[in-house]
């Protein structure tokens, strides 16, 4: 239990960071109704660009902006494959993800990883900052949890504003019914491009934050991101779907879903004292359970309602 309590702040911080990635995935998966696998590559792209910009002497804000723009460019490539080349969305994402492997290596100077010395750079979030805040060496608002909460709030506020505009509403209409949207004169291909760019820009932002938090970027850091993102969306909907009806609250639910996912994983690892090498297996099993819960609910609840109805009739 002590090890779990000690690891909980780190799990919350990472959950919030990955939650931004999940919010980006929500745009394509739920709003546009597209399966975009670019995220496994664009997540690493954001981290790689941020780290290399910091190593090049740029401040953290410029580095993060460059990371977001790089992620948006990756989303644009996927969108071009899908809209101009007629390639299905899922295959377009796979092609971009495949190409980003080489691109990310090139960004990092053909090295599989690049490390940051926290002492030489002023970062937005860092595991070291968490320890320094707890030791009283930094103010509490520089704690990674506080910073990531603020970033998440800003992201949700901006998305809430944007999707309330005419362009944002047309993007939502495109996802709801592409044929009807096209019949209303909406440029659905442009909306798909914009949606993919925004989505992967947020994914890259999450990658940039994680690379700062762990003080390095690594070529495999985005592997499995799509699974974590989908798990966060499903967990958020299953947990808060009945009480969070507002669009902004739905985005918040996705972020909270990511936090729950990481807390559950950390609890299993800490309380059961499982070898860290089994983390991927544990993650897959946890995701499978959360993905199966909605199906089990649909399979069981109708039967309960049917039994209750029959009992009322007999009464």
What pLDDT shows up at residue 5?
A: 63
Q: How confident is the model at residue 35 (pLDDT cuts 50, 70, 90)?
A: confident
| Mean per-residue pLDDT of the chain | 85
What is the pLDDT confidence band of residue 23, given thresholds at 50, 70 and 90? Answer: very high
Q: How confident is the model at residue 306 (pLDDT cuts 50, 70, 90)?
A: low
In 56-165, alpha helices (H): 60-83, 89-107, 127-134, 144-162
Residue 112 pLDDT level (bands cut at 50, 70, 90) = confident
Task: Identify the residue whose tokens are 């993919």.
Answer: 196
- Per residue in 237-280, pLDDT tens? 888 878 888 888 999 999 998 888 888 887 777 767 677 677 77
Q: Band of the pLDDT at 181, cuts 50, 70, 90?
A: confident
Domain-wise residue ranges, the chain? 2-222
Among 50, 48, 160, smallest CA distance to 104 is for: 48
Give exposure, 29-52, as e/b (b: 16+ Cβ within 10 Å).
Answer: bbbbebbbbbbbbbbbbbbbbbbb
pLDDT band at 149 (very low <50, low <70, confident <90, very high): very high
pLDDT band with cut points at 50, 70 and 90 for residue 153: very high
Question: What confidence tens digit (pLDDT) does each residue in 59-100 have?
Answer: 999 999 999 999 999 999 999 999 999 899 899 999 999 999
- pLDDT(1) > 70: no
* Phi, psi (deg, nearest 5) at residue 156: -65, -40
Q: Tell me, what DSSP letter sits at residue 216?
A: E
Q: How far is CA 126 from CA 13, 144, 159, 271, in A?
A: 10, 7, 26, 25
How many C-beta atoms surround the C-beta of residue 263 within 10 A? 17
Q: What is the pLDDT of residue 286?
A: 76
Distance CA 135, CA 117 (A): 20
Instruction: Report yes or no on whether pTM surpasses 0.85.
Output: yes
Tell me: pLDDT of 202 over 90.
yes
Residue 303: the pLDDT is 59
Q: Check pLDDT > 60 for residue 311.
A: no
């Amino acid at each position: 239990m002590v090890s779990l309590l000690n690891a909980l702040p780190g799990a919350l911080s990472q959950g919030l960071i990955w939650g931004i990635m999940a919010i980006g995935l929500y745009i394509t998966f739920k709003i546009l109704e597209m399966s975009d696998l670019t995220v496994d590559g664009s997540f690493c792209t954001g981290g790689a660009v941020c780290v290399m910009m910091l190593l090049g002497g740029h401040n953290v804000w410029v580095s993060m902006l460059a990371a977001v723009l790089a992620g948006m460019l990756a989303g644009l490539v996927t969108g071009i494959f899908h809209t101009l080349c007629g390639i299905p969305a899922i295959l377009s994402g796979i092609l971009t993800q495949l190409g980003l492997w080489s691109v990310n290596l090139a960004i990092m100077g053909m090295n599989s990883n690049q490390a940051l010395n926290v002492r030489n750079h002023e970062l937005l979030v860092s595991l070291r900052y968490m320890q320094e805040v707890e030791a009283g060496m930094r103010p509490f608002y520089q704690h990674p949890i506080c910073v990531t909460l603020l970033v998440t709030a800003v992201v949700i506020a901006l998305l809430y504003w944007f999707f309330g505009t005419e362009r944002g509403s047309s993007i939502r209409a495109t996802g709801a019914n592409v044929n009807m949207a096209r019949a209303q004169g909406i440029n659905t291909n442009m909306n798909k491009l914009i949606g993919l760019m925004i989505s992967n820009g947020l994914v890259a932002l999450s990658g940039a934050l994680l690379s700062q938090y762990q003080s390095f970027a690594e070529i495999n850091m985005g592997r499995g991101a799509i699974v974590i993102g989908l798990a966060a969306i499903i967990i958020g909907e299953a947990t808060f779907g009945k009480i969070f009806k507002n669009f902004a609250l739905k985005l918040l639910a996705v972020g909270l879903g990511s936090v729950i996912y990481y807390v559950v994983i950390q609890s299993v690892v800490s309380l059961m004292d499982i070898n860290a090498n089994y983390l991927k297996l544990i993650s897959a099993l946890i995701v499978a359970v959360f993905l199966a819960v909605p199906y089990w609910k649909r399979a069981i609840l109708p039967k309960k309602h049917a039994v209750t109805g029959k009992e009322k009739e007999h009464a």
